[in-house]
Copies of this chain bind each other. A is one copy, B any other.
Amino acid sequence: MAHAQIPGNAPDANAGKRRAAVCFACHSVDGVAKIPGVPNLAGQQRAYLENALLAYREGKSRRNVTMNAMAAPLSDRDIANIAAYFSLQVGSRSGDTGNWAM
């Protein structure tokens, strides 16, 4: 995966939290998703989150009806700030504790 760094000033995680309010319905304010199929974002690599949002906004390399629509109005600065916010969250690693062969 490419290592994008959105140019400009250091990201503002507090601004990211405000801009990310609409994200919390699925990804939760702490970035640990409570909905099956929705990824945890807490503690995720910041550059990865930036790249994913840029790709959803562009809508070519990542096609998902929900995420393409969510990312469409975001500026580069919004994306940098939101990525910073979620990368700094430290949720419990929830994973999926279903019963399976070990």
A46 CB to nearest chain B CB (Å) = 3
Check A102–B47 contact: CB distance below 8 A: no
* Chain A interfacial residues counted at CB < 8 A: 48
Check A10–B90 contact: CB distance below 8 A: no
Secondary structure class of chain A's binding surface, majority of residues: loop
Check B87–A13 contact: CB distance below 8 A: no
Top-4 shortest CB links A-B = A43-B93, A46-B96, A10-B100, A3-B37
Enumerate chain A interface residues (CB-CB to B < 8 A). Answer: 1-4, 9-14, 33, 35-40, 42-48, 51-52, 60-64, 66-67, 84, 87-91, 93-96, 98-102
CB<8 Å pairs between A and B, sample of 13: A1-B39, A1-B67, A3-B35, A4-B37, A12-B102, A33-B48, A37-B48, A38-B45, A39-B45, A39-B48, A43-B93, A45-B94, A93-B93
